[in-house]
Amino acid sequence: MPKILLAPAGSAPPLAPYSPGVKSDNVVYVSGVLPIGPGGETVGAGDIKAQTRHVLQSIEAVIASAGGKMSDVAMNSIFLKRLSDYQAMNEVYAEFFPKEPPARYCIRADLVKDEFLVEISSIAHLA
């Protein structure tokens, strides 16, 4: 089963040796996405809603590059720097998954850089 590396135009530069996404058969694996712009800058510093929106838009771009859509997402792994941001993150998250949301978990974790408030990785099954 061949794998296809996915790196949509405008993707943030990787902070380590990884691909933004990989498609294998009809499954898309999206690496942990951080609030990083295409120039390597932090997006939405101090604003969990702006960071969550950017992260989910970046995930959407990776999935779209494989021919999928957000409704194809089956699982999300969410990492928050502060659990106090949980409600605000969920408000934005619900915009991207308004019906039949995917399975997920959410934990508090230290992230790669202090200014990052959220990281999300996804698995999508394309029809």
Give the pLDDT confidence of 65-90 residue by residue, as tens digits.
Answer: 999 999 999 999 999 999 999 999 99
What integer pLDDT is reported at residue 15 of this predicted model?
83
pLDDT, average across residues 84-100: 98
Question: Domains of the chain by range and CATH?
Answer: 3-125 (3.30.1330.40)
Helix axes 48-65, 86-96, angle to 10 degrees: 30
Could you give the dihedral angle defined by the CA atoms of residues 95, 101, 102 and 107, in that order, rounded to the nearest 10 degrees? 60
CA nearest neighbour of 31 among 93, 124, 113 = 124
What integer pLDDT is reported at residue 14 of this predicted model?
83
- % of the chain residues with pLDDT over 90: 90
**Whole-number mean pLDDT of the chain?**
96
- The whole-model pTM stands at 0.96
Is the alpha carbon torsion for 105, 110, 113, 115 positive or negative? positive
